[in-house]
Structure 1
């Protein structure tokens, strides 16, 4: 004998759904855009004709240092500091470590350079890879800074030869005020270029589908936070957002989060339609679960 749901039970369950959802979360602040260097300012970058991978420009310029070799290798290269101004400029130099400590292997010939007006100074440096270095990517940088607070960072992309491991994790997935937020962590020893596909499922069907798209390079050991906009969230529903992340090396990982959506104005301001819809959703969920249990019992019988 099946037990019938009483109207009061359905109403209480719906009200519980509404109040459990809580008020909408506030939007996160957006990161400010990076400012472009002022006209005529000093610049720093890889010297022409060095041992790194060349860039695409006709002048032979390189956007970063690229080094590749076995453990125990010693690399040599130069940082070029250019001063187009009419007065001399003093620039401080330092090595910056990434998550895998490549910066600790960089030794600059000088920590400070005075560049005459309208000229350039090249500063040599070495990168010594320890004999026991782990294979894979080891990011670092050479940083130049001046007394006026301006700073320029030139990446050093070091790849140590040997077996590589591609692995990442999807963490802290949550739904915040029309945005799906999550973090990606590179757990391997090689730089990855992840692609993320997004799907959201509600009580009555699919709510969002976004095909796989790139989200930027991810160096070994690095953690990056991302956001997927979801502007058309439902007025009243219980939904699950699922992320599928793929990358080279056969990487495939998933992460998910659930949220209850409620339009508070109609729901609490005499919105009979919202209550009725919520009651219907609860009733539909209860009946579906009971039918599933009944089918399972019949199969076992």
Structure 2
């Protein structure tokens, strides 16, 4: 019986294109083939850096290198870039998705190219920036996709298509606006039922949103204060995207181990990048609920007992009558005449 498989290109392509994050001195490479800009007259280029005004066209060349012992055929296409929701990494859209920037404006002379074993093929392309293009950064990539499906092993085989791309950093001339927002700050606090018997932790979730039109390298500082302005925590966050692309949102979390177990904490996140700074705050109350609950229950029981005793006393006072005399004496009023 033939094993079922699924083509996971829309899901796995962003991960496979993580090779786009190769060190600046190297081309994007997956071990079998690589994609990179043709060398300039000065030196090799790690990425394409393109500047153009609206209505202008720019020409360049991309190199596809085959490192295997047999010929390989690739589907070439241009794609827009975005930040992954998982960690904010640089990824590009899959073939067939709607493109708005580089993916729509870059024109390749042919859709497929065959590269002989251990050889390279250089392909020219043109980026045609439309007249109504928005100014600012429009990142993307030139992608070489192997359309063959590699089937995995196991009870359910999964088909995977591999791709490698060279980044394209396109900047369209015009006014630029760096702008960064911190949105939807949420704090989830967890602490032991009994204070001192376990760690108290807080998970701080927030969204970084690039609301401008240029690529940003964000930095985020975390500060927490308790009652009376006491500093509980100050930290520069590390789990951040190295580049936050225009219009992109990334949901991030930060774990705070050793959060207070009895306090009112105000948490402030301050995000900065070149030319922009924005802050957002959130608060949470740290209370040891089990001891407080036991105390509240004890007070409730004591209150009910005290109220019951008072009711008994009042009931007893209203039910006691004054005894009548056994031999009542009758008073006689005598009138004496003159």
TM-score (norm 2): 0.61
The answer to whether the 8 Å contact 1:139/1:155 transfers is yes
Structure 1 stretches of 4+ moved >4 Å? 32-40, 211-214, 262-268
Q: Hey, what's the Cα distance between the residues in 2 that align with 1:137 and 1:128? A: 15
SS at match of 1:66: strand
Equivalent residue number for residue 256 of structure 1: 281
The answer to whether the 8 Å contact 1:106/1:128 transfers is yes
Q: Which one of the candidate residues 81, 101, 106 is aligned to 2:64?
A: 81
Equivalent residue number for residue 244 of structure 1: 270
Deviation string 1:176-228 (CA, Å, 9 cap, x unpaired) is 35322211111111112222111112235221112487932212111122223
- Specify every segment of 5 or more residues in structure 2 that has no aligned partner in the other structure, as ranges: 1-14, 20-27, 83-99, 151-160, 190-201, 299-338
SS at match of 2:259: coil
SS at match of 1:256: strand
Deviation string 1:135-166 (CA, Å, 9 cap, x unpaired) is 11111222221114211132211011121112
The answer to whether the 8 Å contact 1:193/1:214 transfers is no
Change (3 A) 1:222 1:76: same
Matched, 1:231 2:257: yes
What pairs up with 1:122-137 in 2 under 5 angstroms? 122-137=122-137
Q: Which one of the candidate residues 154, 157, 163 is aligned to 2:169?
A: 157
Q: Hey, what's the Cα distance between the residues in 2 that align with 1:107 and 1:167? A: 31
Q: Hey, what's the Cα distance between the residues in 1 that align with 2:277 and 2:18? A: 36
Change (3 A) 1:266 1:83: farther
Return the offset for 1:40.
4.4
Matched, 1:173 2:185: yes
Matched, 1:183 2:207: yes
What pairs up with 1:33-52 in 2 under 5 angstroms? 40-49=31-40
SS at match of 1:217: coil
| Higher Cα Rg, which structure | 2
The answer to whether the 8 Å contact 1:173/1:257 transfers is yes
Deviation string 1:107-133 (CA, Å, 9 cap, x unpaired) is 111211111111011121110111222
Q: Which one of the candidate residues 219, 225, 230 is aligned to 2:245?
A: 219
Equivalent residue number for residue 291 of structure 1: none
The answer to whether the 8 Å contact 1:194/1:214 transfers is no
Equivalent residue number for residue 72 of structure 1: 55
User: Over aligned residue pairs, what C-alpha RMSD do you find?
Assistant: 3.0
Matched, 1:202 2:214: no
- Specify every segment of 5 or more residues in structure 1 that has no aligned partner in the other structure, as ranges: 1-31, 55-59, 276-301
